[in-house]
Each structure stands twice: as C-alpha cells, then as structure tokens.
Structure 1
Amino acid sequence: MITCVVHYVIDPAKIADFERFAREWMRLVNAHGGVHHGYFLPAEGASDRAEALFSFDSLAAYERYRERFGVDPEFVAADRIRNESGCVLRWDRTFMRPLLPEVDS
C-alpha cells in the first residue's frame, strides 16, 4: 500500500471553494481504485494550511489513476474548481508507506 499525503497552502477566504474541490477529489479517488482518508482543514493555528491523505494498493495503481489527469472530463472539471476559484495557492505531495496497527485475532 502507498499513501499520498498532499500538503496545501490555501486561501482562507475561499474555504468554501476548497471544500467543493476536496469533495470532488474524494469522490474521484474512491471511484477510481483508491481509498480517500479525508481532507484536514484549518481549525486552530495556521489558517492557510490543509492536508489530504489517500491510499492505493500500489504505486502502479496510483499511476493508473494519474493517467486520467488532464484527459478524463471529471478530473478536468475537478481541477477547474481549484484553478478558477484560486482556493489553492500551492501544493506538494509526498508518498508514504503506512505502518498500521495489527489487528488481534
């Protein structure tokens, strides 16, 4: 499993646009082979930072999902929310390998 952690710098005055953008990406990740763990929005502290976490079974599965960017109309429409609203000022992503608690049997 691989988890993508996306770090955002957002415009706090455009949080409603960011939430609309985030809801679309949660839907798209879940519809195209991933598991979205949610967006984490400012509550205390910095008002311009947000995070997203989502996982795919493998880097290859993530790459298949990424092939839709700029091509699939739903992906283009989701990016348009970000681009036209200006709700995201900057973002970067890191790939991590989760260490999860063991389940007792």
Structure 2
Amino acid sequence: MITCVVHYTIDPAQIEAFERFARTWMRLVARHGGVHHGYFLPAEGASDRAEALFSFESLAAYEQYRALFGVDPEFVAADRIREESGCVLRYERTFMRPLLPTD
C-alpha cells in the first residue's frame, strides 16, 4: 500500500470552495480504487494549512488514477473548483508507506 499525503496552503477566505474541492476529490479517489482517509482542515493555529491522505494498493494503481487528470471530465471539473476559486495557493505531495499496529 502507498499513501499520498498532500500538504496544502489554502486561502482561508475560500474555505467553502476548498471544502467543495475536497468532497469532490474524496469521491473520485474512492471511485477509482483508492481509499480516502479525509482532509484535515484548520481548527486552531495557522488557518492556511490543510492536509489530505489517501491510499492506493500500489504506486502503479495510483499512476492509473493520475492518468485521468486533465482527461476525465470529472477530474477536469474538480480541478476547475480550485482554479476558479483560488482556494489552493500551493500544494506538495509526499508518498509514504504505513506502519500499522499489530496485535
């Protein structure tokens, strides 16, 4: 399993647009074979940081999902939320492997 951790710098004035963006991507990840662990939004402290975590069975499975960017109409529409609202100022992806508790 591989987990993608996305670190966002967001526009706090566009939090509602960011939430629409996030809900759309959670649905798309699930529809295309991934497991979305959620978006984590500002509550206290810095109000311009958000995080997302989602997993795919393998890097190859993630790459199949990524191949739909800019091609699939639903992916294009999801990105349009970000582009038109300016809710995401910057983002960075990191790939990690989970170390899970054992019995």
TM range (shorter): over 0.9
> Aligned to 1:89, what secondary structure does the other structure show?
strand
Shift of the alpha carbon at 1:81? 0.2
Alignment size in residue pairs: 103
Moved over 6 A (4+): none
Shift of the alpha carbon at 1:5? 0.1
Deviation sequence 1:22-81 (CA, Å, 0-9, x none): 000000000000000000000011000000000000000000000000000000000000
Matched residue, 2:23:
23
Shift of the alpha carbon at 1:101? 1.1
* TM-score, normalising length: structure 2: 0.99
> Aligned to 1:101, what secondary structure does the other structure show?
coil
* TM-score, normalising length: structure 1: 0.97
Give percent identity, aligned residues only: 85
Matched residue, 1:11:
11
Matched residue, 1:2:
2
> Aligned to 2:80, what secondary structure does the other structure show?
helix
